[in-house]
Structure 1
Amino acid sequence: MSPVFPMLTVLSMFYYICLRRRARTATRGEMMTSRRAIESNSRALSVNVEVIQYAKEVLDFSSHYGSENSMSYTMWNLAGIPNVYPSSGDFTQTAVFRTYGTWWDQCPSAQLPFKRTPPNFYSHDYVELAYEEPVYPTAVHVLETYHPGAVIRILACSANPYSQNTPAEVRWEILWSEAPTKVNSPQARQFTPYIKQIDFPTNLIRLEINSSLQDYYTELDAVVLHGVKERPVLSLKTSMINMNDLDEDEDEEKNGCEMDSLNKQFNVAALREMTTNGYFDKLPYELIQLILSHLTIPDLCRLAQTCKLLHQHCCDPLQYIHLCLQPYWPKINDSSLEYLLSRCTLVQWLNLSWTGNRGAISVSGFSRFLKVCGSELMRLELACGHFLNETCLEVIADMCPNLQELNLSSCDKLPPQAFNHIAKVCGLKRLILYRTKVEQTALLSILNFCSELQHLSLGSCVMIEDYDLIASMMGAKCKKLRTLDLWRCKNITENGLAELASGCHLLEELDLGWCPTLQSSTGCFTSLARKLPNLQKLFLTANRSVCDTDIEELAANCTHLRQLDILETGTRMVSPASLRKLLESCKDLSLLDVSFCSQIDNRVVLELNASFPNVCIKKSFTQ
């Protein structure tokens, strides 16, 4: 028998161990929850008086349903005492994230997932809340008023947002986490998970959200922090627990993302002393590479320390074609980027979303990384990257000549002039500027020079003065545009929409939600339906003028339609008969939101559901 076969068995065992480790990691949330339940229930009674606080301020968040210039459905509603709880239903005074369910992953603008994303990273959104007094947390109460169950992680930070003395190392500790679960009832509830005891006081709490299992938008009203001023002491009962029963993965959770510390531990000299790798030397290089491609980034960093051969494989730039660092956001810093520098010279997809805030990544550290690793970069995700400034965007434009996708979602601290540099990236096919301060001049320049754009998100870009001019430029220059998000653009009219539809015939997805200046009486929606027969997703959310004529035109012309939102906020312009025509014509329709359409009551929804069982018909309510 060839010696390769025993070696294959050994490597298969190694691979099996890695998969077992990943499976253990996937269930870490359950084990941590069990452990924390023991800790929480067995704490000694403290002589400290418990401090109960509502959030003083909302510091940061990844998205919200509301407008930047109002309080309706915004994350800022999480500050202060409850507005709605214990009432249930759809209320504007609550905090609502931009998406829910899997609908946004099933439309033309959906992006392909990164490889190597760890199986236990579920977070899609987040919000960070500051409280008046730092305390050692004893409980966190999340008041959920509509479709609860989206909160999947609660974290505490060592940094005091109201202190001038920022700790040298900002620590984030997970107080509680679990995989997404479905809550069957949409009714309000107070969610109080068992939380972990931490060794530092905090007045900065972060909630992370996964709404993929929700039937509709999750609404949050307040987050109450309970805590004591002095650190609690564990009771004897807890100290006598068999430590072997407490999953070692919790330590891995703390250290697993510290690529920089792994760098310090790595002993190159020791590896040089190893002169043989046994049967590993007989395996094809490509086979080992294939097996290692299933490991996460921290696992690769650890494995690189085991022997010279595996160090060579783990440091091969081909292992880092896709580099997703978002799951490790609490630990990514300049040292992490420096450690990965030599491995990422061939990186094509890079995800740094949520990373680098509170000084963790510097402008110089980011710039150095891109100057070495940006030449092959095609996709760059930087959502919520508040370390970014104009210099960073200039470096992106200069160092990433092959860039096709750029995500700056919720980078709301970037100065308006910074966006001028994007116009130099002429090969862009996808640009996400949701909740940024991009101004009209910069955007016109981008549209003029980036004629390859296929996907463009301008949702909640409040600095644009004249969306008709922007729409006209898109119609003239962006002939390849397939998806366009104009969510909450305040001043586009029928004129701009007409020029957009006339020039961008390939549009498959268009979000015109909360655009109050569009009026059906001008014929704008009828014209839209006739000019854009390829539409698969159309959101006309909160447009009170949508009527039966518009629905019938969509039924006649847009037969490929898959998602339609006509939430009307109280008008009686759409009838059951027109909806039935739409459902009969659009055989691929899977989502229809008719919330607050006065003629479409629950009885009508039940009848339509019975006739068209493959369509999810959404009907929100307020009690």
Structure 2
Amino acid sequence: MAQSADDITKSTNIINEAIHHFNEVEKREGNVSPLAPGQIRLEGDTVTDFSSQYGSESSISYVAANLAGQLNIFPKYGDYTQACVLRTFGPWWKNVPSGKKAYQGTPSDFTSEDFLEIRFPHYLYPVRVEIYETYNPGAVVRILACDAAGGSDADQGKITWATLWSQEKPKPTKRRPRIFAPSLRKVNFATNLIRLELNSTCLEYYTELDGIKLVGTLTPPMDEIFKNLPQLCFDDELSEYETASETHKDQKQKLEAINSVLNKEPQDVTETKDSSFIIDQLESKIRNLDLESTEDSSDGHFFTYLPRELLQLILSYLDLKGLCNLALTCRLLRDHCYDPLLYVDLNLQPFWSKICGPHLTSIVSRCSRVQRLNLSWLGAAGHIDQNLFIRFLQDIGELQVLELSCCKFVNSSCLLDIVVTTRFKLTELNLSSCTKIEDFSVFTIHALPHLKRLNLYRTKIDCHSLISFLTQSPELEHLNIGSCVCLRSRANAVLAMIGSHCK
């Protein structure tokens, strides 16, 4: 698309301002990213995996592989073909008719939509990750590291991931290049594999990355050794470590604060009348608790007085983590939290770093009513056995939507079993970036008569299999065949078949 003289002048001014900005910073402060004694900086060696890219599989422009190696653009700012560029930007991608419906029960702190995995030439204890953003910065929402000391084996699909940094929502910044290097969670293992997760929905245009560097040490930093002496307790979904002693201290402070309020005399309370009433009621209830009683108090349980339908409605507002946590409180709530009607929509993608085959087996009793199932990105945390996965699908009798984007355990034989198991009810199938599937001939044998959406982005589907599928899919409304290299020479035949056989 041709640019006007004003557009060219505006772009040139932005680039010149960016270069001038970094030159001034270096004159005033020296190196914009200095190294401390004992630290080493490594450039990304190889992009091992990614969810999407703007460029095609056979191109070198706007592809994920450009993230590795030496910097080519920084500190310049603008749209350059040497950059790593994702496939989407802005909210419109979700709002178009082909956009997928959000899953009920998805944790609000999971906003990742794309990922990039980068391998470095040596193992380092991570101190800093530097991401060189050269166009529309602000899409990175999560940084993870592969824990080699935790029994990781990338060749067998068994990888332990630890979150180094995260934020719930992306934060666009000024239109100038930057080195994004947030404060990382300190960990006690060396790594050579870093994963970036990104969300571009709040950006006005594509974000572009020029490179990534890992700063770290060959041995654990001395301060980290001493910090690891107490037992660590942390939530994988949070972005900070805290020691067990710190947790105990915080709990003690909270109890002391509550106790100080409860022990106040009525005349000492200077709050409003409502506040005084609430405190008095709370004090009375706590003092009347019979901690020594061994009698069964289930009859007095508040939730036993609620109709089951109302309780299910209340629980439907919880996300998956909330349901699992609430199920640990008592038998009554466990039975309600395990009700299959709460799992009609089941999105396991936010937990890709934790789930492996046995986890699917443990939740199968709750999945008999699942209609929409998202298993995208699964398989990176541990090997998922194909037979176990198919048995899991067979126990889901009402499945209509199945998403398997970037699932490495999905190969040709697995695809055959998926189609045979789900073909009579399935309306949506997402196989985006399932690069392990070598043979799509199952589409020539078995039809998916009710399928309305099929995502084959970055797969190896051949023209014959796709045309056979299209002739048997009269209900098909949305088809994604972007970056399917085997279709390049027969694209016109595919389009003609779509026009004559599909909606």
Fold shared by both chains (TM-score > 0.5): yes
Residues 286 and 217 from structure 1, CA distance in 2 versus in 1: closer, same or farther, beyond 3 angstroms? Answer: same
- Give 1:214 deviation, angstroms: 1.0
Instruction: Give the Cα–Cα distance (whole angstroms) in 1 for the partners of residues 186 and 402 of structure 2.
Output: 37
Q: Aligned residue for 1:389?
A: 411
Residue 468 of structure 2, aligned match among 445, 449, 458: 445
Deviation at 1:254, TM superposition (A): 9.2
CA deviation string 1:356-410 (max 9, x = no partner) = 136432212211211111x201111111111101222122212212110001111
Q: Does 1:60 align with 2:49?
A: yes
When residues 320 and 274 of structure 1 are mapped into structure 2, their CA distance, relative to the original with a 3 A threshold, is farther
The corresponding residue for 2:501 is 477
Task: Please give the per-residue CA displacement for 1:216-238, whole angstroms capped at 9, x wherever unaligned.
Answer: 11000100001111112327997
Could you tell me which of 95, 102, 115 is aligned with 1:106?
A: 95
- 1:347-386 equivalences under 5 Å are 347-357=370-380, 359-373=382-396, 375-386=397-408
Matched, 1:229 2:253: no
Contact 1:386-1:414 at 8 Å conserved across structures: no
Give 1:16's aligned residue.
none
Q: Deviations for 1:135-181, whole angstroms, at most 9, x for unmatched residues? A: 11011100011111111111001249xx9786996321111111334
Structure 2 equivalent of residue 468 of structure 1: 492
Q: Distance in 1 between matches of 2:122 and 2:155?
A: 16
1:274·1:307 contact (CA, 8 Å) conserved in 2?
no
Give yes or no for contact 1:136–1:230 (8 Å, CA) kept in 2.
yes
Task: Please state whether the residue corresponding to 1:98 is helix, strand or coil.
Answer: coil
Task: Please tell me whether residue 193 in structure 1 is matched to residue 216 in structure 2.
Answer: no
1:397–1:421 CA contact under 8 A, matched in 2: no
Q: What is the DSSP-based 3-state SS (H/G/I as helix, E as strand, rest coil) of the residue aligned with 1:424?
A: coil
Counting only pairs closer than 5 Å after superposition, residues 399-410 of structure 1 correspond to structure 2 as 399-400=421-422, 401-410=424-433
Identity in percent: 44
Counterpart position of 1:144:
133
Shift of 1:471: 1.3
Instruction: Return the alpha-carbon distance in structure 1 between the equivalents of residues 495 and 156 of structure 2.
Output: 47
> 2:434 is matched with which residue?
411
Which of 62, 87, 100 pairs up with 2:76?
87
* Unmatched runs of 5 consecutive residues or more in structure 2: 1-34, 241-295
Q: Assess, with a 3 A threshold, how the Cα gap between structure 1 residues 405 and 119 changes in structure 2: closer, same or farther.
A: same
Matched, 1:425 2:448: yes
Q: Which runs of 5+ in 1 are unaligned?
A: 1-44, 256-272, 481-623
User: CA separation of 1:316/1:53 partners in 2, compared to 1, >3 Å: closer, same or farther?
Assistant: same
Deviations 1:237-290, CA, capped at 9 Å, x for gaps: 97999x9xx9x87466499xxxxxxxxxxxxxxxxx986462322210011111
Tell me the equivalent position of 2:329.
306
- Structure 1 CA distance for aligned equivalents of residues 303 and 119 of structure 2: 53
Contact 1:419 1:438 in 2 (8 A): no
Partner SS for 1:299:
helix
Q: Which residue of 2 is the match for residue 341 of structure 1?
A: 364
> Which one of 295, 305, 309 corresponds to residue 286 of structure 1?
309
Deviates more, 1:355-364 or 1:193-202: 355-364
Name the residue aligned to 2:25. Answer: none
* Cα deviation, residue 420, structure 1: 2.6
**Letter in structure 1 aligned against 2:493:** L
Matched residue of 1:403: which SS? coil
Following superposition, the deviation at residue 298 of structure 1 comes to: 2.4
Residue 451 of structure 1: CA displacement? 1.1
1:235 & 1:109 partners in 2: Cα distance?
49
**Count of matched residue positions in the alignment of Structure 1 and Structure 2:** 410
Contact 1:63 1:125 in 2 (8 A): yes
SS of 1:336's partner is: helix
Contact residue 136 and residue 205 of structure 2 kept, 8 A: yes
The residue that corresponds to 2:202 in the other structure is 213
Q: Secondary structure at the match of 2:223?
A: coil
The 5-angstrom pairing of residues 231-250 of structure 1 reads: 231-234=220-223, 250=235
- The verdict on how the C-alpha distance between 1:65 and 1:319 changes in structure 2, with shifts beyond 3 A counting, is same
With over 3 angstroms needed to count, the CA separation of the structure-2 counterparts of 1:167 and 1:64, relative to structure 1, is closer
Q: Could you tell me which amino acid in structure 2 is paired with residue 429 of structure 1?
A: K
| Residue identity matched to 2:497 | M
Cα pair 2:140 2:170 within 8 Å, conserved = no
Distance 1:376 1:240, change over 3 A: closer
Say if 1:433 and 1:290 are closer, same or farther in 2 by CA, change over 3 A: same
SS in 2 for 1:104: helix
Match of 2:116 in 1: 127
Which of the pair has the greater relative contact order for Cα pairs under 8 Å at 6+ separation? 2
Q: Give the match's secondary structure for 1:203.
A: strand
| Correspondence for 1:37 | none
If the length of structure 1 is used for normalisation, what is the TM-score? 0.62
Q: Deviations over 1:592-620 (max 9, x none)?
A: xxxxxxxxxxxxxxxxxxxxxxxxxxxxx
Q: Say what the alpha-carbon RMSD is for the aligned residues.
A: 2.8
Letter in 2 for 1:292: L
Conservation of the 8 A alpha-carbon contact between 2:348 and 2:376? yes
Return the letter of the residue paired with 2:359: S
Q: Distance in 2 between matches of 1:128 and 1:113?
A: 25
Distance 2:451 2:93 in 1: 21
TM-score, normalization by structure 2: 0.76
Going from structure 1 to structure 2, the CA distance change for 1:350 and 1:290 (only over 3 Å counts) comes to same
Letter in 2 for 1:376: E
Change (3 A) 1:199 1:276: farther
Secondary structure at the residue paired with 2:436? coil
Tell me how far 1:474 sits from its aligned partner: 1.1
